[in-house]
């Protein structure tokens, strides 16, 4: 779909639910880009809240890539294989 590669449906080893898979390089790249948002308050004091939200989201993406291997079970809400 949309010119990307179709991947076969993968099921969770724990619950049999659907597993979302993302490329590790993309998760790390987007995670690092979002972590740079911690510098936003330099531009203005009102940007503290967006900086915290974006920074924590970036940290989550990096953990997803490193600890979860790019896989997340939508059924049991865990990193598949961890």
pLDDT score recorded for residue 1: 45
Ordered alpha helix ranges (H), 1-73: 24-35, 48-66
Q: What is the pLDDT along the chain (82 residues), one digit of tens a residue?
A: 455 565 667 788 888 888 888 888 999 999 999 999 888 888 888 889 999 999 999 999 999 888 888 888 888 888 765 4
Determine the pLDDT at residue 20: 84
Q: Which H or E element spans position 42?
A: none
Are the beta carbons of 81 and 64 closer than 8 angstroms?
Answer: no
Q: Please state whether the predicted TM-score (pTM) of the whole model is above 0.85.
A: no
Domain ranges of the chain: 22-73
Helix axes 48-66, 24-35, angle to 10 degrees: 160
> How confident is the model at residue 72, as a pLDDT?
83
pLDDT of residue 56: 93
């Amino acid at each position: 779909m949309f010119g990307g590669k179709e991947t076969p449906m993968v099921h969770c080893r724990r619950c049999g639910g659907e597993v979302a898979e993302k490329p590790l390089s993309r998760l790390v790249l987007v995670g690092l880009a979002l972590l740079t948002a911690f510098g936003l308050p330099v531009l203005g004091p009102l940007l503290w809240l967006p900086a915290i939200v974006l920074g924590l989201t970036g940290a989550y993406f990096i953990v997803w890539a490193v600890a979860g291997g790019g896989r997340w079970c939508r059924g049991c809400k865990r990193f598949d294989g961890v």
